[in-house]
Chains A and B, each alone.
Chain A
């Protein structure tokens, strides 16, 4: 359907006004919200994800597409029933204790949200005990931790110990990332997943979902 193709294309290039109008038009013409969501908005983000991985789209372009997708979803939401939007998983995400750097973490949070995850961003300088508390309170099935500094990386290991101590390590998949973090560090501390950048983080989270 030409209109759904237009929506897809406009999400991809981040043309929010066009998407808002076209999503409304599709509903007015009798297309169901589920179809607009699946064949318009989500289909667009699948293309965006592939293009990001192929290094054809840059982060600012991906984020604009994600924001546009969210705006379109806002129009659809009153027409969607509970369960129409499949939630991939619930993610608690934050920067570890001693580290106040949040750009990378924010980026991952935004992309996770646009990929269909429910994201609870608990901010920066989060202690191991607080991470465990947030996971427990939100009944999250993912925990994402970020560290930019070589000096704060050890906090990831301590957070895993805190999850153990709270008896919830088995209930949550732990993903780690940040400039100094690598796969062998992730393996060494016993994390479930590692991603080298925001695009890869979404892929890893989806694989573990």
Chain B
């Protein structure tokens, strides 16, 4: 998008906020707006340009999340990229079979995430279906916090979830945990132009503790939003700005991420589509708009409408990830392992996506142009017609190339003699190796006991 296009989308979003307003389904939130002089009608809040500008003036352009391992702190904003694995899937896809996800699947996925060198952050990948919702939630959070020392994107959909996030942070980091950015969560608006009660409560409570909020509308073109791409961007922008204004009212300077996962709906079924060119364009534009306002961005992911880790999945994921990574996105959720839209996790696809993210990171590195790398000396030494294999310059740099962990780079006969595996089968083998090498990271035994007591306190079976 050109700067003029972005300006037009912003102005259109402001028109919506001023004339149509946004419904916040939580009276204390509406009261807060009213007490700051915002125009309010029932649960509908109207915002003018000056009020949006005031929020844009206080929001930071970057922030750092601090976890329990200082080597794994994560910065959001600027040139930084944080990739998190799949989040919130109810199912596991194995071959063509889709089955309910379990605690064992969650554990497998977390091991892969922990061992990956490309996944920086955890999403809570699988909602275990064998447990009642409340227990399943606590126990899955326990798994995320104990099985890896990577930071977690807390899935917070209800006040009960919020309480678990606050309580577990206190157990991990002590009573003054909120002096630093510890709890990172993605909140969704309820398009078009609404924020549900749970979202309002989470935004108020987290902002009051200065914890980062990634506001991510999921506008579905043609159903929950206008059918046109520009219209989707306008609606998404208006909702992000509304969330930004709320967060900055509660706590000026509170970290905030401009998110978007909007796409189009199938006009044949109404289903949301994520493996489509429109999605890639909307995600690219989302990052461009965030960049324009110097806000950390969240967009895109390894998303596909395919139901196998096949070539369709590969194409769609590569396009989805490359679109946003080339535009300088700061945070990608669902970077690895998600399949069948947002519904399932595939372990084979997790490993393939992991490789893809690594390749894209490699691809996006700026080409190093220096005397050493331009290598004029060695080209002159070899001269016309020679070869470079014996040169010490080649020897010194022969490990610089990106090397795939399991993608095939050998000729047909060698590939065949090694089993002639397709990508999904190779990925399953690679996953096995990653799982076998997993070691649980250290955690203070006292904290581990407290965490276990808290997360398993309400059930009869000990962890």
Contacts and interface: CB of A to CB of B under 8 A. Distances in A.
Given A98-B158, A184-B99, A107 B270 contact: yes
Interface residues of B, number: 28
A199 interface: yes
A151 B101 CA distance: 12
Interface in B76-91: 88-91
Nearest to B158: A98
Contacts of A104: 270
Interface stretch (B219-227, B366-374, B394-402, B420-428): B219-227
B90 A60 contact: no
Interface in B183-225: 190, 196, 220, 222-224
Contacts of B88: 150-151
B98 interface: yes
B391 interface: no
B205 to A, nearest CB: 19
B261 to A, nearest CB: 13
A186 to B, nearest CB: 12
Which interface class (under 10, 10 to 19, 20 to 34, 35 or more) fits A?
20 to 34
Interface string B252-287: 000000000000000111111000000000000000
Contacts of B91: 180, 182
Interface string A60-78: 1000000000000000000
A163 interface: no
A101 B342 CA distance: 16
Nearest to A149: B157
B439 interface: no
Contacts of B99: 184
Contacts of B342: 150, 179-180
Contact of A151 (B127, B190, B223): B127
B341 interface: yes
B132 interface: yes
Interface in A139-180: 149-151, 153-154, 179-180
A188 B100 contact: yes
A127 to B, nearest CB: 14
B223 A153 contact: no
Interface in B331-377: 341-343
A196 interface: yes
Contacts of A103: 220, 223-224, 270
A179 B272 contact: yes
Contact of B269 (A59, A149, A185): A59
A151 B133 contact: yes
Of A98, A150, A198, A199, chain B has the most CB atoms within 10 Å of the CB of A150
B190 A58 contact: no
A98 B127 CA distance: 16
Contacts of B224: 103
Contacts of A150: 88-90, 127, 342-343
A182 B90 CA distance: 11
B116 to A, nearest CB: 23
Contacts of B127: 150-151
A92 to B, nearest CB: 21
Nearest to A55: B268
Contacts of A58: 267-268
**Chain B contact residues, majority secondary structure:** loop
A107 B158 CA distance: 27
A197 interface: yes
A59 B267 contact: yes
Which of A59, A107, A198 is packed against the most chain B CB atoms within 10 Å?
Answer: A59
Contacts of B132: 154
Contacts of B196: 100
Nearest to A154: B133
A179 B223 CA distance: 14
A52 B196 CA distance: 33
A78 B195 CA distance: 44
Given A98-B158, A103-B224, A149-B157, A179 B268 contact: no
Contacts of A98: 157-158
Contacts of A55: 268
A132 B155 CA distance: 30
A199 B271 contact: no
B99 to A, nearest CB: 7
A154 B343 CA distance: 15
A184 B89 CA distance: 15
Given A107-B270, A150-B88, A151-B88, A100 B98 contact: no
B89 A197 contact: no
Contacts of B133: 151, 154
Nearest to B87: A150
Contacts of B98: 182, 184
A175 B414 CA distance: 53
A161 B73 CA distance: 46
Given A58-B268, A59-B222, 17 more contacts: A55-B268, A58-B267, A60-B267, A98-B157, A150-B89, A150-B343, A151-B88, A151-B157, A154-B129, A179-B271, A179-B341, A179-B343, A180-B342, A184-B99, A197-B270, A197-B271, A198-B270
Interface of B: 88-91, 98-100, 127, 129, 132-133, 157-158, 190, 196, 220, 222-224, 267-272, 341-343
8 contacts: A59-B268, A59-B269, A103-B220, A103-B223, A150-B88, A179-B272, A198-B269, A199-B269
